[in-house]
Structures are given as C-alpha cells and as structure tokens.
A and B are shown apart, each in its own frame.
Chain A
Amino acid sequence: MDFLNGLVALSNFVLIPAMAYGSQLALGALGVTLIYGILRFSNFAHGDTMAFGAMVTVLVTWLFQSMGISLGPLPTALLALPFGILGTMALVLLTDRMVYKFYRDQKAKPVILVIVSMGVMFIMNGLVRFIIGPNDQKFADGERFIISVREFKAMTGLREGLAIKTTQGLTVVTAVIVVALLFWFLNRTRTGKSMRAYSDNEDLALLSGINPERVVMYTWLIVAALATVAGVLYGLDKTFKPFTYFQLLLPIFASAIVGGLGNPLGAIAGGFVIAFSEVTITYAWKKVLVYWMPESLEPSGLVQLMSTDYKFAVSFVILIIVLLFKPTGLFQGKSV
C-alpha cells in the first residue's frame, strides 16, 4: 500500500505534469528542428509564433463562446484551433515572403538568418501584446478534470490523491496524433519525401527537379501548424500570457539541440528529456521517499537537489553537457 501511495504521489506531482510539459516542448522543438533541417537556421521567432497562433485561437474561442458554441466536456479551443493554424500560416508565409526570402535569395549565412529571426521575434512579440495585451487570458472551458483528487481517493481508498486534468490528457493525445501525422507526411507523401531530400542534400535535390520554393512553403505551413498546436496546448494547460512563450524558447531549443537539430525523432526525445529532468531535479522527494523507505531511513529534510528557481538552469546544464560530449545530439542531427 505504501508503495502505491508513493507511486501515486510521484505521478501526481512529477510524472503527469512532466508528460504534459514534455509533449508541449516536443511539439515546439519539432517546429524548430524542421526549420533548422530544411531552411538551415535557428528560428528564434518560434516561441512568439506559438504565442501568435495561441492568440488567434483564443480570440476565435471567445467568439465561439459568445455565440454559445461549445464542445461539451472538451475545451472550445479545439474547435478554434484550425482557425488559429490558418491565421499563423498566413503570418509565417507573409514574414517569409517579406523577410526571409530576401536573405535566402542573397544566400545569406545562417548566422545572419538567426539575427533576422530575432528581429522577427521582437516584432511578433510586440504584435501579440498589441492585439491581446500583456496579461493572463483565460480561455479554457469544458470539464476540468478527467479524474480529480477527491474522486481518485474515493475510488481507490489511497491516502494520496491523483489528478489528471483534461488539458493534460488532451495535450498528450494531441501530441501523439500530430506526431504520427507528421511522420506519415514526411515518410509517405511525395511532398514529405521532397522535403527530406532537400534537407539531406540541397544541390542534389535541386538537380532532381524539386522546386525549392514549394519545399520552403510547405515547411512553413507545417511549422505554423505545429507551433499553433503547441502554443494552444501550453496555454490551455497553464495559462495564456504572451511573455511566457518567449521564456519557453530556451527549453524548446534545449530540447531540439539535445535530441539533435534537424532530427524530428530527436526533437521529441529531447522534449521529454528536458521536461523530466527539469521536473525531477527540482522536485522535493520527501513525500515519495517517506512511503518508499523503511521507517528508520525516512528523510527528515526535503530531499530536493535544487530549488525550483533553478528550473531553467537545468535545461542549460543538460544542453552544455550534451554539446560537450555529443555535439550532434542524442539522435545524430546536424552539428550546431
């Protein structure tokens, strides 16, 4: 019984939040890694692209809510998601046409594109805050819990409770579906194959008659969809606030680099590695260990490796360690 109690406490405070957070990071990192693999630069504007997509979705959600449209137990935001994706697609295609295309035609070095993407980031950041304001926005509705602490305790009779929020369940399920779709697209469709060919060897791809502008366009469209889904899931699960997406950039890049930039599988693995290390290293293990250890060995302190303030530091450290020992990341991406 004690073992179960410990396991439930661990799931409640570590495993479930980390799963949800990991899925959100993985989706974000997939977008970053696709841009890096195909367009060959690190897109710093990715966090704010997520914020923009989430913002459009929030606005459409509010519209639906005022019209009385809902999805029953599921959040209305799911219904608004396609509109958010369309809005974001329009935005990224516009920025590509207006900004990135110019530098691509000049065959600018990747480092220049990185700086350019930073400029784009600040503009998108301002745009989002200009339209929706810098404050928290609540847009989650529907059933809040798949299982709540009280129900779980009544059901199992355990001392510890377990809560699974609808948004956490949704995040994981949606992430799985999106990732499956993406891999099917990249591996099975003609466009997907041409994108991979372009990523592997640009010159050879051009010689075999692949239209580069088309590949670039499809990449942006996919990235827009990924970013919006990631942004909306994060906003649903936590809270929508423009500035938090900017802060998300660091763990997202850490995930993509740890997994191996340019490698989609690596981005997913990286997302979970970063999420689980951030959460487990800053978690105070006392609650779990009290159940698992024999009475004589029970800890009196908190058994916390690092204060929660150092959450982001953990992503940094992992990033540095991986870069030192495996510069191409865990899954053999391109070297940075």
Chain B
Amino acid sequence: MKKLLMASAATALIAGAAAADDVKIGVILGFTGPIESLTPAMAGGAELAMKEVSDSGKFMGGSTVTPVRADSTCVDAAAATAAAERLITSDGVKGIMGADCSGVTGAVLSNVAVPNGVVMISPSATSPGLSTVEDQGMFFRTSPSDARQGQVMAEVLIEQGYKSAALTYANNDYGKGLSDSIASAFKALGGEITVTTSHELGKADYSAEVGTLASGGGDILIVAGYVDQGGPDIIRTSIDTGAFDVFALPDGMIGAALEDNFGDEIEGSIGTVPGSEAADSSMVVKMVAETGADATGPYIGESYDAAALIMLAMQAAGSTDSADYAAKIMDVANAPGEMIKPGELGKALEILAAGGEIDYVGATAVELIGGGEAAGGYREIVINGGKITTAKYR
C-alpha cells in the first residue's frame, strides 16, 4: 500500500512538472441533429490545430494533444450534458472546444464546465444571453454575439432596399435571441416586421407557419433557423405556395445544403456569416477540405482558433490546469505581442516558452472583448447563380 501511494504521488509530481505527456482536449459538437452537415468540418478545424501543435513538438516540453469527440446533438441539453460529463470525468480532458448551438452550450457550461472548473471555448454559440451568463471566467467564444449579427442583418436589409419583412425563427435559444436582435435593429433603422412566428424543428409540415407568414406579407422572409432542419422546409413551402421568393438567412442557414436544395430558386437571397477581411481562414478551410470533410460551411476557422487558444493559453501558463490557464486566454488572444497567423502555432509556442507575448490573429482575426467573446466582423453573402457568393465584409 505504501509503495502504491508513493508511486501515485510520484506520477502526480511528474504530471505536475509538465513532462512530455498526452493532453486531451474535448471536441463537443452536434454530430447528429439539425446542423450535422456543418460539424464534421468544424471538428476538422479544431483537430487541425491540435495536430499542428502536436507535430511542432514544442508544446509543454514536447507533449502531444489528442482530440476526443463527443456529440452535443445541438438541441438536446440532457444528452449534451451527459456527453460533456463523460469527456471530463472519464476521458479526463483538460479543456473543451465547443459546444456549438447556444442552448446546449449554456447547459454544458452551467452543468458541467463551471462545476468541474474546465475551460470551454465555443466556436459558434452566438446567443446574446451567453454574454452575461455566470461562467466563473471559464467560458469564451470565438464567434460574436448575435446582438451584433442582428444589427448587421438589419443594415444589409435596409441597404438592399427591403422595408418590410416577415420573420420566422427556430424555437430555441439561438433562434429566439437572434430573431429578437434582428427585429429590434430592423425597426430602429425604419424597417417593419410584419409578422413573427416560431417554428419547431423536425416537423414534416410547415404549411400552417408559412400561411401565417404569407398573411403578414413583406418584401422578404427572414429565416433564423437551421440549414438541416426546419429552415429548408420553410423555404421550400414558401417557394411552392408563392408566399416569398427571396430570403434573408443568418449564419445557421448558410451551408452547402442550401445550394444543393435550392440553387437558383432563391436567387438574390441575402445572408450574414461571421468573418472578416483581415481574417484569412482559407488555409484552414483548404486543409480541412483535404481530409475529405465538406468545408463549405461556416465556423471552421472559429473552431481552429478555439482549439488553438486553449493550447496557447496552456503554454503561456505552463500548465494544463484550467484554473491556471483560463486567465491567460485573453492575453494570448489580444495585443500586445507578435501577430500569429494560422499555421504559425509552432512559432507562437516558441515565443510563449521563451516568456514572450503573442497576439493571436488566427483564421478569424480573433479579438476577444467583454467577457471573452469575439468582437465580430461579418461577411455579407448573396445567392448569385445558385451559389453562395461573398458580397462584402462588414
């Protein structure tokens, strides 16, 4: 018994001294559910950053990083909580890249991450509610709050000459938060929201919802929903019944499935996705596409950055313990220091190991503000010739 105790004490010491070992980081995304077509590439982005760090051999004295995937389901808070619990208690992850959708992210954060004291960086949870959530300094996101997206969407609509719009949202945290912020921003700019209806995900028939939206009327239909469930059915029914033929689509609706399903049937429709001109996620997107994942969706660069931030902060703190490195995340993400682009993680690790400072730019021009969320640049897209094309950056 004494020997065993000695041995375990020794192991603990070695681990604490950051000898070369294997650090696990959780990747919890909705691999099943309403955004399942987007998540493989997002996970690919995060795993790309981990591979880059492992391959550099400069992380925490030669440690490697292993991703552990878990399914957040995007909508089922109980399932997501159980999956995250498993990551921490049985897989022993030191940080969590995720979750994806706002509702499950809030649930995982308050039920698992905060009680266990594990850092969590979401690449895509954009609900304004998460800005003020009680997170004990454990929660960050590399995507901006939807309060900002609502503003941008409203500006795009007004500039394109749309004065009145019908609005439907997926009935959950993400949809409700986004629809509120779009509606208030649009009204402030002089637009009129003729009707607002929610829609449940995964129903077979949305003709009643579309009937109501058509009754309200308007120049355009704003669909604050998801590209794999609900959203496409609403658009399909609207086109079929002639209720609307142009649509305004926030980030959850932008993905390759949109082009596949509708092509030029929704010609002229507009959308907004996080992204900025200074940001260059092309390298990450290209590398992820090479792994065979469908890399046309959003949030791939954000996922890369979320994973990179966790590892860089660990390096800066010289510890994989969340309590130690959580405070370092804002430091590595923001100025001052050397600018770090994607693919330069090895260089960043070297600077940090030498005690220098870095300003992580990454794939999405990361700049964390407030309680640790991205300041938020947006890409305005337009459906042109049946393809999603970039109109400009805002």
Contacts and interface: CB of A to CB of B under 8 A. Distances in A.
A145 B205 CA distance: 17
Interface string B217-261: 100000000000100010000001111000000000000000000
Nearest to A248: B204
A287 B195 CA distance: 12
A304 interface: yes
Nearest to A283: B211
Contacts of A153: 242
Nearest to A309: B198
B120 to A, nearest CB: 28
Contacts of B229: 136
Contact of A244 (B197, B198, B203, B243): B203
A308 B241 contact: no
Interface residues of A, number: 39
A219 B200 CA distance: 37
Given A283-B208, A286-B216, A302-B216, 18 more contacts: A9-B214, A13-B211, A13-B214, A13-B215, A17-B207, A17-B211, A144-B240, A149-B240, A163-B240, A241-B202, A284-B211, A284-B215, A284-B216, A286-B215, A302-B195, A303-B215, A304-B212, A307-B197
A238 B207 CA distance: 9
Given A12-B241, A239-B233, A302-B195, A309 B200 contact: yes
A13 B197 CA distance: 16
A285 B216 CA distance: 9
A308 B197 contact: yes
Contact of B204 (A17, A161, A241): A241
A14 B229 CA distance: 24
A13 B215 CA distance: 9
A165 to B, nearest CB: 7
Interface string B172-215: 00000000000000000000000101101011110111111011
Contacts of B207: 13, 17, 279
B212 A302 contact: yes
- Interface hub of A153, A161, A163 (most chain B Cβ within 10 A): A163
28 contacts: A12-B242, A13-B207, A13-B214, A13-B241, A13-B243, A14-B211, A17-B211, A149-B240, A149-B242, A163-B241, A163-B242, A165-B240, A234-B204, A241-B202, A243-B202, A244-B203, A244-B204, A247-B203, A278-B208, A282-B208, A283-B208, A284-B195, A284-B216, A288-B215, A302-B215, A308-B211, A308-B212, A309-B200
Interface in A150-164: 150, 153, 161, 163
Nearest to A239: B204
Interface residues of B, number: 25
A21 interface: yes
- Interface hub of B198, B204, B229 (most chain A Cβ within 10 A): B204
Contact of B205 (A14, A149, A238): A238
Contacts of A145: 240
A14 B240 CA distance: 14
A40 interface: no
B208 A311 contact: yes
Interface string A128-151: 000000001000000011001110
B241 A287 contact: no
Contacts of A234: 204
Contacts of A161: 241-242
- Interface hub of B203, B212, B229, B240 (most chain A Cβ within 10 A): B212
B187 to A, nearest CB: 17
Nearest to B229: A136
B200 A287 contact: no
Nearest to A237: B205
Contacts of A13: 207, 210-211, 214-215, 241, 243
A311 B207 CA distance: 11
A25 to B, nearest CB: 12
A200 B204 CA distance: 38
Interface in A242-279: 243-244, 247, 278-279
Contact of A308 (B208, B216, B233, B240): B208
Contact of A21 (B202, B205, B209, B215): B205
A308 B197 CA distance: 8
Nearest to A153: B242
Given A283-B215, A302-B216, A238 B209 contact: no
Given A244-B203, A282-B208, A304 B242 contact: no
B66 to A, nearest CB: 30
